[in-house]
Structure 1
Amino acid sequence: MDRTEIVAPPVHQLEPKRVIDVWFEDGNCIIEAEDYQFCLLKSFLTKRSPIFQDTFSMPQPEDAECVNGLPVLHIHDSAADAAHFFKAIFDSEFDLLALPRGGPAPTSFEKVAAILRLSTKYEVEYLRALQHLSLAYPISLPLWKACETSLTTFPVFPSALATINLAREVDCTWVLPTALYDYCKFTGPAEIFSGTVQDGVLLSLSDADKQLCLEARESQKEASKDMESFLTSPLPADCTGDGGCAVNRLTWTHILNKRRQDGFWLDPTEAW
């Protein structure tokens, strides 16, 4: 019997793509993330990042990879994150950190998350644009109520789940109380355990945060029940009202029951 050897087709290595917005003709180093290359200036990078300063100070081997005579540094970050990060460093018109009228310019959560991740990793402190997250998830109730209308800089409000994971990653833990509260309002136990697919990617909390959310849901339910107890408790004997108190209590009890059916029983601040 003839035996035919099956030969796998050759694998063609695709050439890395240049990121034109962050490709400077007078650049003296190339950084590659995934299959994308950025031609940058070492002096800018080393001045702003001690991590890049240490990296570029190391002697290069004679057989180091080069493109057009320039050394290539591979970083293990997403190309999209790297593009936002390098643009924030090199492009003066990239006004993520601009502060018109005392507040940061409107932007997207994706940009803020990318720059926060990489500025934390590469220790570029001035780019840690934490004010955007602080406005979206403030630490006081008055600011939180104001945030619902005008303070947030995100035209599309970020996912609470994505915000929680980002806050853990870049150590901006002060946004966690409101982000976790927001997440618990709309997320059932099954989804807390299994995670949520967003833009084709499965996002999930750490085991510790899953436990935290399950416990918090019970606390939020109990806080709503406290108001129900207040509304249904007997009127004090010395009440001088003309019956309006009882009518108002009954009205608000009906409203609370309707909101409970709509899921608002997990949002005690809204119920109160």
Structure 2
Amino acid sequence: MHTHTSTVTSDSPLFDADGVLLHRHPDLWFEDGSVVCRAENTLFFVHMSQLARHSVCFRDMFSIGTHSTGTEASIKSESGVDEFPDYPVITLHDSAEDVGNLFTALYDGPNFGNNDPLDFRVVSGVLRLSTKYIIDGLREKAIVHLSQAWPTTLKGWDTREDTARSFEMKTGSSSGHMYPSPIAVINLAREVDAPTLLPSAFYDLCRYTYSQIFEPSEDDPLYVPLTYSNASPAASPGPHSGPMQLSLSDTQRLCLGKESALHAITGLIQSMSHSQSIRNSGVQLQSAFSFSHPLAQNPAHSAIIPHASNHHNPYHIHFSNHRRSSSNLICVSAAACRKDFSELVELATQHYVFDRERGFSDPLYVADELGQLKSAEFSNSDAPECKACARSLELWAARERERIWRMVPVWFRLSMDVGAERTASPPVVDIN
């Protein structure tokens, strides 16, 4: 049991052996603490048992039970007296901000926010250090939280986009400002070996133009002020650095994936244009897609689209339901629908190919928009309403969106990364 208690008051200055002024953390300084942790020039007086309870790394560290009696890590008062001679002093090679967020999460439990940039700054620090110090439970909670903004499912992505659009409507700011830079997320995922965050982060990043990515202006969501700082250079720039950057290999992945996403938009429009023909069965005119589009003819697609849901995405409809219902839907005006589809394809070509030339690429959004074109045409036309063709177009779009989502890891050459498992290596610390 320690018998020494620090004689300095809680606001008395402290110095290291080199005379550098040290600062107590305002919340993580307990008078009955049993270990002093130093990160940068901030001191944490915390409980050895609390750290060891959650972390295998800290537990093994403390089980060594030795600390230096030399002066190289001593903490002195203004008068030169060693204030903690009977306590181990551990130097952690991490930012004080990250260490503070980690210790707070260990004492109070994780209290994450809404995945905005400020929340990401906290969560990324917790994730980084919970990985480094092998705190698996906290690491898992941090990844689960980040996965709300960087999901692995199309349903999760649609929820994320709905949240971003609501943010845009409420604030008048670009929806991209709702979340942190996907470059920071990619770099963090690489640093802590969390590959499940990569596909959605790469997809989000590819939606920006190259100038927005590599030379962002102050109004762009990817712009990072020069004064921005964070613990890890891999996750964000330092105080005097320029825009965040990807590694060379991830930059290559981005370029290849962005090209695939642009081609996917052209493919969507071509697929839509190839599905206009309406065959006359001799008795009744079927839906424009009933015969010509693969959605109606290939039973292998029956498991692609999830079951119907009352949530945000109306396109998650099981294929077998479509097969049962589509036979009862009849195209009420073959000539009119044929003309409508021709006009819709022309409109989509002009609009989305123009976006492609400008460098924008969001095939999931384009597929969603294409699926609603026929329904939107009803409200702006005197032509007979053809629910069969509109419904077929919606189902085709839903299937295409599912296919696109499955292709994202392939586009960005992430298939191997997503299946990888983390292997932890012990951190480097100084115990004195």
- Would the TM-score normalized by the shorter structure come out above 0.5? yes
Gaps of 5+ in 1: 1-11, 97-104
Residues 150-204 of structure 1: CA deviation (Å, up to 9, x unaligned): 499xx94121000011111112111111101111211518955999755262422
Aligned match of 1:137: 150
Moved more, 83-92 or 39-48: 83-92
| Greater relative CO, 1 or 2 (CA 8 Å, sep 6+) | 2
| 2:188 maps to which of 151, 158, 166 | 166
* TM, length-normalised to structure 2: 0.52
Gaps of 5+ in 2: 1-17, 76-82, 167-176, 217-221, 230-236, 280-287, 289-333, 368-432
Aligned match of 1:176: 198
Equivalences for residues 101-140 of structure 1 within 5 A: 106=114, 108-128=119-139, 129-140=142-153
Moved more, 220-229 or 231-240: 231-240
Residues 212-250 of structure 1: CA deviation (Å, up to 9, x unaligned): 111111111111111233455695374733222222223
Please state whether the residue corresponding to 1:254 is helix, strand or coil: helix
Instruction: Verify the 8 A CA contact 1:189 1:214 in the aligned structure 2.
Output: no
Partner Cα distance (2:276, 2:213) in 1: 41
Aligned match of 1:51: 57
Moved more, 245-254 or 165-174: 245-254
Aligned match of 2:253: 212
| 2:362 maps to which of 238, 261, 267 | 267
Larger radius of gyration: 2
Residues 90-117 of structure 1: CA deviation (Å, up to 9, x unaligned): 235x633xxxxxxxx5361111101000
| 1:15 maps to which of 15, 18, 21 | 21
Aligned match of 1:99: none
**Structure 1 residues 218 and 257, CA gap change in structure 2 (3 angstroms):** closer
Partner Cα distance (1:188, 1:115) in 2: 31
Aligned pair count?
249
* TM, length-normalised to structure 1: 0.80
Instruction: Verify the 8 A CA contact 2:269 2:345 in the aligned structure 1.
Output: no
Partner Cα distance (1:73, 1:233) in 2: 68
| 1:32 maps to which of 22, 27, 38 | 38
- Residue 216 of structure 1 aligns with an amino acid whose one-letter code is G
Query: Which consecutive aligned stretches of 4+ in structure 1 deviate over 6 angstroms post-superposition?
Result: 193-196
Residues 96-152 of structure 1: CA deviation (Å, up to 9, x unaligned): 3xxxxxxxx536111110100000000111211111111111112122111222499
Identity of aligned residues (%): 32
Instruction: Verify the 8 A CA contact 2:35 2:88 in the aligned structure 1.
Output: yes
